[in-house]
Amino acid sequence: MSARSRSLAVAMAAASALALSACGGGGGGGGADSDEAIPIGIIADLTGATGDVGKPYNEGMLAYVDWRNGEDGIEGRQIDAMSNDYAYEVPQAEQLYKQYVNDGVVAIQGWGTGDTEALSGSVARDELPFISGSFAEPLTDPEEAPYNFIIAPTYSDQMRIALDWISEDSGGKSEVAVFHNDSPFGEAPVADGQKWIDEESLDLGYEAYPMPSGSQNFVGLLSQAKKQGAKYVVIQNVASPAALVAKDIAAQNLDMKIVCLNWCANELFIDSAGAKAAEGHLLVQPFAPMAADKEGHQDLKEYAEANDLDPATLGTSWVQGWYAMHVMAEGIEAALKNGDDLTGPAIREALETMGPIETGGVVGNGTVEFSGDSHRGSTATGIYRAEDGKMVEIEAGASL
């Protein structure tokens, strides 16, 4: 290169540097000053592998925000909830997370176990309280995940309660097959279930079977469970695949009882399987469905009626979304009442020290409570049975 062209290059470089710098720009943000809306980011699964329950959960959260804003918001401030679909893909969740951090949100509502775990380190470093649809046990430990909060009993707690119930129902001895989603969500309670059987010396056989995603039937898996001699099939998956298992059990005329945990323990499971195939199966569900008619359902009913929704059609996942947002909003309210600036650490502190959050009998045994040592909001769950196409409560607030 000649000296002339070299100096030309340098000159061009300098000129464009000036031009680009002039464009300005810079970090997002959006503070949390007194009258501003409170920004909350939602990472939702509307169209992904768990979209069947993810969509109503998201609708429940947005409905709560709408209702609360109508009730003059939190301490007079409106909630600005941003909801985006991540289709149950971890990289998309990370992308959305970065977007929300840049937008200056004060807290985040997440969804899946894989992405909640993947983001737990980042939310801790960025000091953003994070409530999610995942109830995986490691997320309850403030040492491991200081900014994650779980508002219901963990999947592992639900599994323990289910195993205790099975042990009692079977007269003390039986074989249990665990059908689980082949992902961190599905695997979350599997090892803890085995540990519980060993610790409590339960006389239960225990085998875990990953459910291949996209399967059109589970006859093969059921025949393995049959070979094991399983009388109970605990399912840790969402409603649609669990309903397929129920249909296959009915079609094969197998003597097996399904015990659904959390995300398949809902009306969608019964509707998809059909009342006949679902009949008699058990549902471990920490959030009381609308059919259970608890005091805490009143606001939901009023909101639904005011918005041309039939309260009877609001599924349990919708109720779960409503109360996930309720717990977060209560934490934010407590932080504001403490006179703190609305920051992540202030909300975390408020959630840890505010005492029990009342849910009118909907979550666990009625209240959700965190402490500095534990972010496990509840250890109790309702147990329901599918009868005539309905969820019928057989035990409220069951705990270990």
Nearest-approach distance from CB 342 to other proteins, in angstroms: 16
Report the run of H or E that residue 235 belongs to, with start and end: strand 232-236
Q: Does 47 bind other proteins (CB under 8 A)?
A: yes
CA distance linking residue 225 with residue 62, whole number of Å: 40
Number of residues that bind other proteins (CB under 8 A): 52
Nearer to other proteins by Cβ, of 23 and 76: the residue is 23
> Quick check: 214 binds other proteins (CB under 8 A)?
no
Stretch that binds other proteins, among 15-23, 33-41, 72-80, 383-391 (CB under 8 A): 15-23
Among residues 267, 262, 288, the alpha carbon closest in space to that of 159 is found at: 262
Site string for other proteins, 369-388 (x = CB under 8 A): --------------------
Least CB distance from residue 389 to other proteins, whole Å? Answer: 30
For residue 141, with 0-12 CB atoms within 10 Å meaning exposed, 13-18 middle and 19 or more buried, which class applies?
middle
* 110 backbone dihedrals φ, ψ, rounded to 5°: -110, -165
User: Would you count residue 21 as binding other proteins (CB under 8 A)?
Assistant: yes
d(C-alpha 321, C-alpha 27), whole Å: 31
Residue-wise burial string across 301-329, b where 16 or more C-beta atoms lie within 10 A, e elsewhere: eebbeeeebeeeebbbbbbbbbbbbbbbb
Spell out, one character per residue from 135 to 154, where the chain touches other proteins: x when CB under 8 A holds, - when not: ---x----------------
CA distances in angstroms from 115 to 107, 270, 343, 373, 392, listed in the order given? 16, 28, 23, 23, 33
Mark residues 166-205: x for contact with other proteins by CB under 8 A, - for none: -----------------xx--x---x--------------
Indicate the residue among 189 and 366 with the shorter CB distance to other proteins: 189
The binding site for other proteins (CB under 8 A) comprises 1-2, 5-6, 8-10, 12-14, 16-17, 20-21, 23-28, 46-48, 84-87, 89-92, 94-95, 98-99, 101-103, 114, 117-122, 125-126, 138, 183-184, 187, 191
